[in-house]
Amino acid sequence: MGNISKNAYGMTLLCPIRQDDAAHSYSNLTRDCLETLPLHDNSPMAKVPNTYLCRLYVLDDVFYQGAPANEEHLKSKYLVFCTNFHGDRDTYLRGMWNAVQEDVKRIWGYCIAFDKVKTAGDFVAYAKQCQVTNSLFFNGSDGGPLDEQLKALYLRQEFTRFAFDNFGKSAVELQQAFREFVAIVQPDNLQTPTWAPGMTQETQQLQYSFHTAARKEEYA
């Protein structure tokens, strides 16, 4: 299937937005809502289990590419939701509704027929109606659970830092430094320390510095 790569799922929803009236531009209201959403680790999508990445935007129309193509236009403006995640679609959508229900209602509030969505099951059914099949889905990971992905990213970055910081040390010094490194990064602990969903590199660095200082004191 075009939507599945190993244990990863790529989902694209095209959700028609209500037609503008004399008092409201519903597409602009939707766009305003998206522009005010918090970013990075404060994003509502950072709370949705197993989200690798996602994007939300308003599609106003398609562009005319010139002859010999036919000039075509969309009948509606659309809220587009693209996301890659671990697991199956229905479980993910239910988890999204349960985790950030109020944000979902706000984001999709001006879409046609969304006023009928009252439960997680309704949201799953609504999403299925709006879903389009991905022709080409590239998954940039091995499809593992998000906590494993985040830990792997964290370990890769910290091991690179370890190699740089300890270049040129003697075997004895390097062995001692590596013991301390393992105690700090805890490779088998998926919960902490690790990358948090949506975390920026700057925020992660601050967290790492604090955690490293605490662990070095404990280890000493």
pLDDT tens string 22-54: 888 999 999 999 999 998 889 999 999 999 999
Task: Give the range among 12-26, 60-74, 75-89, 136-150 with minimum mean pLDDT.
Answer: 60-74
pLDDT above 60 for 115: yes
| pLDDT of amino acid 134 | 86
Instruction: Determine phi and psi for 180, rounding to 5 degrees.
Output: -65, -40
What residue segments make up the domains of the chain, in order of their start? Answer: 4-132, 146-219
pLDDT above 90 for 113: yes
User: What average pLDDT does the chain have?
Assistant: 87
pTM above 0.75, yes or no: yes
Instruction: Determine phi and psi for 126, rounding to 5 degrees.
Output: -65, -45
SS3 2: coil
For residue 34, give both structure tokens.
Answer: 């998206």
> Residue 114: which pLDDT band, with cuts at 50, 70 and 90?
very high
In whole angstroms, give the CA distance from residue 189 to residue 150.
Answer: 11
Place of tokens 């239910």: 94
| pLDDT of amino acid 139 | 74
In whole angstroms, give the CA distance from residue 100 to residue 97.
Answer: 6
**Segment 84-99 mean pLDDT:** 96
In whole angstroms, give the CA distance from residue 216 to residue 177.
Answer: 11
Tell me the residue ranges of DSSP E strands in 100-162.
Answer: 131-132
Check if the beta carbon of residue 197 is closer than 8 Å to that of residue 54. Answer: no
> Residue 131: which pLDDT band, with cuts at 50, 70 and 90?
very high
Could you tell me what percent of the chain has a pLDDT over 90? Answer: 60
> Residue 59: which pLDDT band, with cuts at 50, 70 and 90?
very high
pLDDT greater at residue 197 or residue 176: 176
SS3 61: coil
Check if the beta carbon of residue 115 is closer than 8 Å to that of residue 106. Answer: no
pLDDT above 70 for 212: no
Check if the beta carbon of residue 5 is closer than 8 Å to that of residue 137. Answer: yes
